[in-house]
Chain A
């Protein structure tokens, strides 16, 4: 029962497990859901999907699988289209059958509907198809655009269809949206608590052990409090081709700023050379030589570079390749130096991942970064944070 549905979800790359599927069957057995498709939809979702970022995928898969079906096999008698056609022929006179050929399917449905309404009385209770009660597919009033069915006016029906057809959860899908809150949560993966600093907290376990060793005389032990000790250096590409990505970068930046206690940020343009700056308006007046930055921030800093890496390859590979001034050493040399100073480094690229292969400069930087380039989406950010945490 419903195994095809389960396999369909699996094929659509939803992380469903057998255990969850069995739970769903158990719930059906216990009649948690009434016999309507939206109850089934909600129940299947609550059993099988454990993350709202998968809701959209589930909606699509569900919609595909149950397209045109308003009743669930197993919960309700399912009515194959063929049977309906047969049944319909029974209801039609030969003349009408002849007319049928000319009329086409849509018109036929109208006819059929009318006919059924006329015959409602006689058939109530008689045939198992045209029974009384709301669940009959031939109940009056409804109309399903896809099927051949004159759908029952079961009350909630529309609402659920609306949910999965509208794909309301689309922007919860983690490959799409990057809101500030989402970024914060992704960045939080990087948090790592450690004890550091002054000893100002009573270490209860230590005290007890110490006291026991002291044969019962109290031996107070103190320890430092736990802090989030992750330190982050953020380098942001600014201007030029990055203008398209300002919004996402701003969000990323504001989220990062409130998330880390030790966060330092610098700007660069296209590629990093011998200096970076902190205030874009005064970029020519107030420069920070990269050497100084490398000396000041130790290797325990994790480095995140945000840039589209879209430029001429010369800007990376050639001395003097910078678009702004004659740089003595090539960008690649500086990038390599950075990686030597800070082994934990990732490059976040706001350009969509599928375009990366078509841009030579992206390829070059990816090689330098040993593939630690990630798209600036929620999923990409999570991958990046996992990489940094290794």
Chain B
């Protein structure tokens, strides 16, 4: 199995190599990168390209490692016991399978996405070490060991909010998705808007990259914001000329709200435009 990018996802050479290393050696792949560079998308695309099911596990600050394996639903057992339900006699009726268990029992390759692992408690990755390493775990309630017949491909994303423990990192492949350069960005846009007018795209990209260069920006616009913005430009049928007057930097680009998500950034930008206008 090899991943070569897809029709809807542009993977750079280094990213493809990292994914293929993870597939071949059956180790987890940890993906980091600026928000909006397609970390979560990657897992979906890998699953799609390889034609295997995708199991997603979105992590929150309250998520426990155990929830990915299984959960013992004590409350419904308690309720059933008070109602005198027959089910109550078998504890396995109250074991709810988690994402990892579901993947392990597939019997064929699958992709597990552990999304935003850094949101969870600091101990979370450590609690999953053995499970991800050996791809097996023990269910204490029913005294059985669940083992993966075919090791799933594990893709883990992180937004860098917490540092991950070394022991965990050593077991993963790591890839940092760099912000795409102009050429790659062109390919990404091509994939999303195959019929976009060339000149509109060129103008839009120039405005976009210039905006990213504005010093002091709190949240630089990212790929997903560019795509949203283009969507709006296309929907509103804005002509390429409108993106740029002859005199550079003296207009706020139309629909800039799609690119700048922070009111301080909008103010900053407007101030810069204002200053540029008065320097004439």
| Chain A residues with a Cβ under 8 A of chain B | 15, 17, 19-20, 23, 26-27, 30, 32-33, 38-39, 42-43, 45-47, 49-52, 55, 156, 159, 168-169, 172, 180-181, 185, 188-189, 193, 204, 208, 211, 216, 218, 226, 247, 254
Asked if B242 is an interface residue, CB under 8 A from chain A, the answer is: no
Separation of A146 and B173 alpha carbons in the complex (Å)? 32
| Known contacts A32-B25, A46-B175, A185-B160; is-contact A216 B32 (Cβ 8 Å) | no
Q: Which residues of chain B are near A211, meaning CB under 8 Å?
A: 78
Q: How far is the CB of A318 from chain B (nearest CB, A)?
A: 39
Contact A50 to B21, CB < 8 A, known contacts A55-B176, A185-B160? no
Which of A33, A52, A169, A208 has most chain B Cβ within 10 Å?
Answer: A52
Contact A32 B24 (CB under 8 A): yes
Return the CB mask of B150-171 against A: 1 if under 8 Å, else 0. 0000000000111100100111
- B182-216: which have CB < 8 Å to A? 216
Which residue of B has the minimal Cβ distance to A254? B218
Q: Which 6 A-B pairs have the closest CB atoms?
A: A52-B176, A50-B169, A42-B14, A46-B18, A50-B174, A42-B17
CB distance from A222 to the nearest CB of B (A): 15
B172 within 8 Å of A (CB atoms):
yes
Which chain B residues lie closer than 8 Å to A193 at the CB level? 61
List 9 interface pairs A-B (beta carbons < 8 Å), by A numbering.
A26-B25, A42-B17, A45-B14, A46-B175, A49-B174, A181-B219, A185-B161, A189-B163, A193-B61
Q: B170's contact among A50, A185, A204, by CB below 8 Å, is which?
A: A50
User: Is B6's CB within 8 Å of the partner chain A?
Assistant: no
Contact for A46 among B14, B61, B218, CB less than 8 A: B14
Instruction: Let me know if A43 and B13 touch, CB within 8 A.
Output: no
- B contacts, CB < 8 Å to A: 13-14, 17-18, 20-21, 24-25, 27, 30, 32, 61-62, 74-75, 78, 81-82, 160-163, 166, 169-176, 178, 216, 218-219, 264
Q: How far is the CA of A43 from the CA of B29 in the complex (A)?
A: 12
Chain B residue contacts of A49, Cβ below 8 A: 174
Taking a contact as CB atoms under 8 Å apart, the answer to whether A208 and B17 are in contact is no
| Chain B neighbourhood of A33, CB < 8 A | 17
A226 vs B171: C-alpha distance when bound (angstroms): 32
A32 touches B170 (CB 8 A): no
State whether A32 and B20 are in contact (beta carbons under 8 Å apart), knowing that A23-B27, A50-B174 are contacts in the complex: yes
Q: Name A's interface SS.
A: helix
Q: Say whether A208 contacts B78, CB under 8 Å.
A: yes
Q: Specify which chain B residues have a CB less than 8 angstroms from the CB of A19 in the assembled complex.
A: 170-171
Pick from A51, A159, A181: contact of B174, CB under 8 Å: A51
Q: Which residue of A lies closest to B159 (CB)?
A: A185
Query: Using Cβ atoms and an 8 Å threshold, which residues of chain B touch A32?
Result: 17, 20-21, 24-25
Task: List residues of chain A with CB within 8 A of the CB of B170.
Answer: 17, 19-20, 50
Contact of B82 with A180 in the complex, beta carbons under 8 Å: no
- Residues in A neighbouring B171, C-beta threshold 8 A: 19
Contacts A30-B24, A32-B21, A208-B78 given; indicate if A168 touches B178 (C-beta within 8 A): yes
Q: Is the CB of B21 within 8 A of A43?
A: yes
Given contacts A30-B25, A32-B24, A55-B176, contact A43 B17 (CB under 8 A): yes
Whether B14 pairs with A188 at a CB distance below 8 angstroms is: no
Q: Are the C-beta atoms of A159 and B218 separated by less than 8 Å?
A: no
Within 8 Å CB of B163, what residues of A? 189
- Bound-complex Cα distance A15 to B216 (A): 32
Known: A42-B17, A208-B74. Is A216-B81 also a contact (CB below 8 A)?
A: yes
Nearest to A19 among chain B residues (CB) is B170
The complex places the Cα of A304 from the Cα of B162 at a distance, in Å, of 21
Residues of A within 8 A of B13 (CB): 38-39, 42, 156, 159
Q: How many angstroms between the C-alpha atoms of A188 and B13 in the bound complex?
A: 33
Q: Of the candidates B14, B81, B172, which one forms a contact with A50 in the assembled complex, judged by CB atoms under 8 Å apart? A: B172
Scoring A30, A51, A226 by chain B CB atoms within 10 A of each residue's CB, the highest score goes to A51
Report the minimum CB–CB distance from A80 to chain B (whole Å).
28
Given contacts A32-B25, A39-B13, A218-B78, 11 further A-B contacts (CB under 8 A): A23-B27, A27-B25, A32-B21, A43-B21, A49-B174, A50-B30, A50-B170, A159-B13, A185-B161, A211-B78, A254-B218
Min distance, Cβ B215 to any Cβ of chain A, angstroms: 9
- Establish whether residues A204 and B32, one from each chain, have CB atoms under 8 Å apart when the complex forms: no
CA distance A46 to B78 in the complex (A): 48
